[in-house]
Amino acid sequence: MSESDSPDDIGTSPDSLDLSPREPSARQRRQRRPWLAMIVLLLVVAAGGLVLTKFLTSAIDYYCNVDEIGAKEGCEAGRRLRIQGIVDVGSVTDNATATEFSISFGGVSLPVVYEGEPGGIFKECIPVVVHGILRDGVFNGDRIEVKHSNEYEADNPDRIAGETDKGSECSL
């Protein structure tokens, strides 16, 4: 600072640095938009919606007895179902890739094709729940649940009333 400069003159000369805020140009404003963040957010929301939709549709397997097929709403052919019945005597056959058998409930019988070996305690004359899809009168199963305790009978007496007694064919 020279002797002729007074403190009031500092910063008013044309050579001084202007630190006041400036309006960004239109180009700078466009560049500040978070397009990448918006696209990522949109993809995350879409993926979440897809997963949620897939989860909810796979969770809606209608539970039907064999005699309710075609008679109860939700128990139609072509949709994913869980069907309860008792494995018929003499109906279980194994081939190289599938196990074929029939299940009955309420006087109605249904042929079942299960890809693979059911394993476990699967046998004739036991209550089973088969998960799959009914096509052309044959139930194509991909999962089998086998009754293995008396808890089911105690909790669901209306589901199995009269079905466990198959006469001389099946003695449970």
Q: Which CATH superfamily is domain 62-160 in?
A: Nucleic acid-binding proteins (2.40.50.140)
Report the pLDDT value the prediction gives residue 31, as an integer from 0 to 100.
59
**Regions of the chain with pLDDT less than 50:** 1, 163-168, 172
What's the rounded Cα separation, in Å, for the pair 163 and 105? 7
- Return the closest-CA partner of residue 147 out of 135, 139, 155: 155
pTM across the whole model: 0.57
Give the list of residues 6+ apart from residue 56 with CB closer than 8 angstroms, or none. none
> Could you tell me which residues come within 8 angstroms of residue 36 by beta carbon, excluding any fewer than 6 positions away?
none
Nearest Cα neighbor of 160 from 114, 120, 106 is 106
Q: Please work out, in degrees rounded to the nearest 5, the angle formed at the alpha carbon of residue 58 by the alpha carbons of 53 and 60.
A: 100
Domain ranges of the chain: 26-59, 62-160
The label of the residue with tokens 């394993």 reads 119
State the pLDDT at residue 33: 65
